[in-house]
Amino acid sequence: MATYTTDAVSLLVYLVDALPREADRVFAEAEAGETVLQAPSTALAEVLYSVSRDKDVRGVTLTGTPEDARQALVGNGPVSIASVADEELIEYAQVGDQFSIHDGLIVASHRARDTDAIITTDDVIGDAGYRTTWK
């Protein structure tokens, strides 16, 4: 079964139902139980923070509570939490100087868990040679 690492942007865009075709296909497969989506706990924390601040995503203002978002993504949704543990920190120590802290933790989770690709809009990750999915 294919496994993907998701970043905060992909999760936020999913919440407002504005994913592009390729990313939407992967999320739909996860909703059907055909694919696994893993989000580092740090990415989920970013999403909850954004929701608590009524952030605008793709022209849509996020509504609801952080708990509503957590339920939509993890409780009743297609995403599983990839807690940041020692394995991720070992990987982060190797790549952290190449990325922002957020991107570095996404890449570290992807590497530690050997996922198939990262769902992200971030060209920096793709330009660094990591397989990404978005379009």
Helix-helix angle 101-113:41-52, to 10 degrees:
140
What per-residue confidence (pLDDT) applies to 102?
Answer: 93
Write down the pLDDT at residue 130: 97
Classify residue 40 by burial, with Cβ atoms within 10 Å: 0-12, 13-18, 19+.
buried
Which tokens go with 83? 């807690």
What CATH number has the domain bearing residue 17?
A: 3.40.50.1010
- List, for residues 82-134, the tens digit of each pLDDT value: 999 999 999 999 998 999 999 999 999 999 999 999 999 999 999 999 999 99
Residue 13 scores a pLDDT above 90 = yes
Which pLDDT score, from 0 to 100, does residue 82 have? Answer: 96
pLDDT at residue 54, rounded to an integer: 75
Number of domains making up the chain: 1
Contacts of 44 (CB under 8 A, 6+ apart): 8, 11, 70, 73, 74, 79, 81
> How far is residue 98's CA from residue 38's CA, in Å, rounded to a whole number?
22
pLDDT at site 111 = 97
CB-count burial class (<10 Å; 0-12, 13-18, 19+) for 54: exposed
Q: What is the pLDDT of residue 117?
A: 98
What tens digit of pLDDT does each residue of 49-82 get?
A: 999 987 889 988 888 899 999 999 999 999 999 9
- Structure confidence by residue, pLDDT tens digits, 15-39: 999 999 999 999 999 999 999 999 9
Domain that holds residue 126: 3-133
